[in-house]
Amino acid sequence: MARITGLGAPRLRWALLVLDRLALAMNVVSALHDVSRRNPASWRRISAIGARTDIMGDRRERVAYDVVTAGLVERHVDDVSLVMLTHQGWALPATK
């Protein structure tokens, strides 16, 4: 990969990081949408969704935080490893 240099390099790196996080969040929401289609009120393990999208470890937790903060996914109160799409999360994959 080419090294990014010059005056706009920090902004470009920041923009690429934001786009990467957005792409990962969309992958998680799409995967959660696919597995929840038959039973939308079911809670799903974020680890299973992460495995389905090849997102593991710290990246999975960061993406989970991002989608919860965006209001696309809800975390279970008693078990934070369980997630479910919100109404906004259900509407998002339909707009692709």
User: pLDDT of 27-84, one tens digit each?
Assistant: 999 999 999 999 999 999 999 999 999 999 999 999 999 999 999 999 999 999 999 9
Which pLDDT value is given to residue 61? 92
Q: In terms of C-beta density within 10 A (0-12 exposed, 13-18 middle, 19 or more buried), how is residue 44 classed?
A: buried
Distance (Å, rounded) from C-alpha 73 to C-alpha 75?
7
Q: In terms of C-beta density within 10 A (0-12 exposed, 13-18 middle, 19 or more buried), how is residue 72 classed?
A: buried
The per-residue pLDDT for range 8-24, each reduced to its tens digit, is 666 666 666 677 888 89
Does pLDDT of 87 surpass 90?
Answer: yes
Distance (Å, rounded) from C-alpha 47 to C-alpha 96?
25
Say what the pTM is.
0.78
Q: Where are the domains of the chain?
A: 9-94
- Spatial contact of 74 and 32, defined as CB atoms under 8 Å apart: no
Does pLDDT of 7 surpass 70?
Answer: no
Does pLDDT of 4 surpass 70?
Answer: no
Which pLDDT value is given to residue 92? 83
Distance (Å, rounded) from C-alpha 91 to C-alpha 27?
14
Which of the following CATH numbers is that of domain 9-94: 3.40.462.20, 2.60.120.40, 1.10.10.10, 1.10.260.40?
A: 1.10.10.10
